[in-house]
Structure 1
Amino acid sequence: MKKRNQIEFIVSGEYALFTDPLSRIGGEKMTYQIPTASALIGVVESIYWKPSIYWVIDEIKIINPIAMESKSIRPIKYKGGNTLAQYTYLLNPAYAIRAHFEFNFNRKDLSEDFNEEKHHNIAKRCVKKGGRRDIFLGTRECQAYVEPCEFDEIIGYYDTINLQFSPMLHSLYYPSQSGREQLEALFWSPKIEKGIIHFITSEQCTLRKEITDYEVSTFEIGKNMQSVDALFIELGVE
């Protein structure tokens, strides 16, 4: 179902590693079977991001079958050492994604940047250009690529399947969006319904874990951020 301010695109790569950051203490890393909302928000923010808006993942289709591959990795250890770790990645991940943005009304200091049409036009242009920053799926070593698509026309591998997943990380909830000076981890139980995963919003996640105190970053238009009007002109968006 289409929404206002929505963009549609395919993101794909050779590997993906979607993990719960709270479980990354040890040397082994095991990917989830499907992407977290946080990882996909990271993809969208690499396409286009401004502190006056935040992105919401609406739904995704899994284009390629879920397959995994384990690799022996020697992580960089800043105090020295030669540890061997086992990482399990998703192999050949590809997803069709629908996402839309909302204005961050907790940032009333940025209200003059709340121009819906210009943000949307810039975001669509950035999708066509493959994003403004490097795209990766879960971790930096899993480079990925973005291209525009018509979501409803994409054929997914699980289009005829309904499948329930166990509880997993949904996203990290930052104070800039929540309005609370706490970084929280949110959890949910996703499911595939006729090939589509419909994501719930951060506010709809009932299972939460407070991680740490977290201060909101400060931005000031014209000093450490560019207004959407200036960016609109710079990119020559029509």
Structure 2
Amino acid sequence: YALFSDPITRIGGEKFSYQIPTYQALKGVLESVYWKPTLIWYIDEARVMKRIQTQSKGMRPIKYTSPENDLAYYTYLKDVCYQVRAHFEWNEHRPELAHDRNEHKHHNIAKRMIERGGRRDIFLGTRECQGYVEPCVFGEGKGFYDGCGKLNFGVMVHGFDYPDETGKDEMSVRLWKSARLENGYIRFPAPNDDSPVILTRFIKPMKAKVFEDEAGFSGLNEPEFRALLGESGDEA
């Protein structure tokens, strides 16, 4: 299952999934696979492999105004499968982490983490929708929407801009005006492009977290991470 819902409607109790994954949800999957504040993941495109189907479930969420349970219906996507092509770039707004910019190292670690199913739990849009990742050749195999032309989905949330990735002391949301599926492929506009199909709206002031060697970040020399990869401490 997957639930790629509009954040604006999530507080209403009745959650309904978009028909296709959002840029931010796929970026979150990659960050669960492997992430360091040194780098930023960019989703280039995704491919929908199976038919888009939905299923509604009765849920008992806790009310905001009391400890009692409420009744709501959540509409999920079911039996989902996607191929994703992405890349990472250095976070230029983190000059204090320039010493950690080792492309060969980060690339190999990311590949190994994908082969092992990710470093953290994988979920599709929301926590209760568990998923898994595995390596694939992008574009390989038969997809349900191959040769089906264009399917338009209107305005969708594209993602969020955080201060550590933009250099601005604010958080904002990006809206994608012309989200569409073309022969099974979703080609996402880059978040840092001045594209006419991307609308940006301010949400609130926010400061970027400060990372230092002795406070919250140890780069590639993290002992627990090296133990997971079976590496010695002298390699970086």
Give the TM-score normalised by structure 1: 0.89
1:43 equivalent to 2:32? Answer no
Does structure 2 conserve the Cα–Cα contact (< 8 Å) formed by 1:38 and 1:172?
yes
Partner of 2:208: 216
Runs (4+) off by over 6 Å: none
Preserved CA contact (<8 Å) 2:47 2:139: no
Which of the residues 100, 125, 131 maps onto 2:118? Answer: 131
Query: How many angstroms does 1:116 deviate by?
Result: 0.8
2:179 to 180, 190, 196: 190
Residues 16-67 of structure 1, C-alpha deviations (whole Å, 9 max, x = no match): 0001212212111111000111111110000001001010001111011000
C-alpha contact (below 8 Å) 2:49/2:184 kept by paired residues? no
Which letter maps to 2:104?
E
How many Å separate the matches in 2 of 1:111 and 1:227? 10
Give the structure 2 partner of residue 117 of structure 1: 104
Indicate yes or no: 2:144 matched with 1:172: no
Output aligned runs, 1:59-98, within 5 Å.
Answer: 59-77=45-63, 79-98=66-85
Deviations 1:199-233 (A, max 9, x none): 11112353111111111011113542222255785
Separation in structure 2 between the aligned mates of residue 233 and residue 134 of structure 1, nearest angstrom = 19
Higher relative contact order (CA 8 A, sep 6+): 1
1:28 to 14, 19, 24: 14
Contact 1:110 1:221 in 2 (8 A): no
Percent sequence identity over aligned pairs = 50
Match of 1:12 in 2: none
Aligned to 2:189: 200
Structure 2 unaligned regions, length at least 5? none
* In 1: Cα distance, 2:181 partner to 2:52 partner: 13
Q: Does 1:226 align with 2:226?
A: no
C-alpha separation in 2, matches of 1:198 and 1:154: 18
1:5 aligns to what? none
Change (3 A) 1:105 1:69: same
- The offset of 1:73, in angstroms, is 0.5
* Partner residue, 1:140: 127
**SS of residue paired to 2:76:** strand
Match of 2:137 in 1: 150
| Count of aligned pairs | 224
Which amino acid letter does the alignment assign opposite residue 6 of structure 2?
A: D
- Counterpart amino acid of 2:153? F
Structure 1 equivalent of residue 3 of structure 2: 17
In 1: Cα distance, 2:100 partner to 2:62 partner: 41
- Bigger Rg, which one: 2
Residues 222 and 148 (structure 1), Cα distance of their counterparts in 2 relative to 1, 3 Å cut: farther
For residues 72 and 40 of structure 2, what CA distance do their matches in structure 1 show? 35
CA distance in 2, matches of 1:223, 1:212: 26
How far has the Cα of 1:236 moved from its partner?
3.8
Aligned 8 A contact 1:96 1:154 in 2: no
The answer as to whether partners of 1:63 and 1:155 remain within 8 angstroms in 2 is yes
Output the aligned Cα RMSD: 1.8
CA distance in 2, matches of 1:155, 1:226: 42
